[in-house]
Amino acid sequence: MTDLYEAQRAMRNMRKAALQRGVIAILDVGTSKIACLVLRFDGERFMGGDGVGALAGQSSFRVIGAATTRSRGVRFGEIESMPETERAIRTAVQAAQKMAQTRVDHVIACFSGGNPRSYGIAGQVDVEYETVSEQDVARVLAASDVPDYGTHREVLHAQPVNFQLDHRSGLKDPRGQIGQTLAVDMHMLTVDTATIQNLLYCIKRCDLEVAGLASGAYVSGISALVEDEQELGAACVDLGGGATDVSIFMKKHMIYADSVRMGGEHVTSDIAMGLQIPFATAERIKTFYGGLVATGMDDREMIEVGGESGDWEKDRRTVSRAELIGIIRPRVEEILEGVRECLDAAGFEHMPSQQIVLTGGGSQIPGLDTLAPKILGQNVRIGRPLRVQGLPQAATGAAFASAVGLCLFAANPQDEWWDFEIPAERYPARSLKRAMRWFKDNW
């Protein structure tokens, strides 16, 4: 626990150093693609113009380099073959560097695999003096009862969601307020240690320093949900290549995250198996002709499957689009059922607002907006990520929701547990702060 605490703190320092230097890279390691964006923080505020707003103060950066490459060696959002993934990361980083014409040393990465699991934890402590001090906040965070999440798992996010002072709940910042008892609700997200370590190792092999790690569910939520959705409560579903991330936001905090280990790649493999065609062809047919709602027209639209087998009969096959939809739809339904289960497990039906936002590459299937409401409920929309300054047109699609979210995360990270002060009791015995505290208590 403290280990990770230290590691996260080190990452935050690294992020600060990167911002000082002004250039930081964003790495979205997905199952189907790896995206790398290079951000430049020059401090100048971009104000409006060209239909782009000031982005609520988050426009202090601009994207100066962007590159995507086909992901290799990743399954279900987890790294399966490290040399392959390392190569893919290298490709993406080098291309982005070339576009940015600068070298990046710091990278903030996100991934969606690793079985994310959410915990809501609470802590309570008596306020030491009259008013709540930073130390009180630190103590209440330290006093929260961390569940036993297993030895092979690590905490990826631990965000204080709500502070409560005596009977007043919903405080964003309790410092300086007068009260007796301070309580905190925290949302903690854990993932498999091995997943993180594999990713860190791959990034390290590329001579890059990790300046932050984030969950894919979280970052796609902060980019695809608009502000009032985050405030009132909404779920973001990122239909990715190998995993579908679900995150629930409330009062601008993520309160739940989970992932369904199914995604677009499964649809592709279904097509490949069902039509007996290579994987690449299946992917092409899916993106060109894929759909979810078959009409009479689709029976007559024949798709040339093609092939390289050399067998004329085999290479001249055609399928109707209705057949293709018949293959795609059950799998997408299955994915959405999985999402439904996640939402049910999280108690989404008790939320005041039932908004669901679908994003990610999978959300571009035509007909998803008619299929999804049948499974997920009426308030479903297809979300695209926020526009950030300098992002190339090719990278503004729904598939880049988590990359864009990671940009916002890099610019304005939410306060996490490790951003608060360390409670004085936990300082080493010879610390100056501890001595100061002793003086304060005794004089």
Interface positions with another protein (CB under 8 A) = 69, 87-88, 90-91, 93-94, 97-98, 101-103, 205-207, 308-312, 315
Nearer to another protein, 22 or 48 (CB): 22
Report d(CA 215, CA 192) in Å as an integer.
12
Q: What DSSP assignment string belongs to 392-437?
A: -GGG-SGGGHHHHHHHHHHHSPPP-GGGSPPPGGGS-TT-HHHHHH
Q: Residues with Cβ < 8 Å from 388, sequence gap 6 or more?
A: 55, 58, 59, 61, 62, 63, 404, 407, 408
Taken in order 404, 410, 411, 415, is the CA torsion positive or negative? positive
- Of the pair 394, 429, the CB lying nearest another protein is at 394
For 235, phi then psi, to 5°, come to: -115, 140
82-100 and 193-205 helices, crossing angle to 10°: 50
| CB 14, min distance to another protein, A | 18
CB of 103 to another protein, least distance (A): 4
Q: Is 94 or 193 the residue whose CB approaches another protein more closely? A: 94
Only one residue has tokens 């009409």, namely 295
Smallest distance from another protein to CB 107, Å: 12
Greatest alpha-carbon span in the chain: 94
Q: What angle do CA 154, 265, 362 make, to 5 degrees?
A: 90
| Shortest reach from residue 35's CB to another protein, in Å | 15
Pick the closer one to another protein by CB: 176 or 310.
310
For the bound state, the minimum distance from the C-beta of residue 265 to another protein, rounded and expressed in Å, comes to 20
67 vs 342, beta carbon nearer another protein: 67
Rounded to whole angstroms, the Cα distance separating 253 from 258 reads 15
Q: Which is nearer to another protein, 126 or 207 (CB)?
A: 207
Q: What is the nearest approach in angstroms of another protein to the Cβ of residue 36?
A: 13
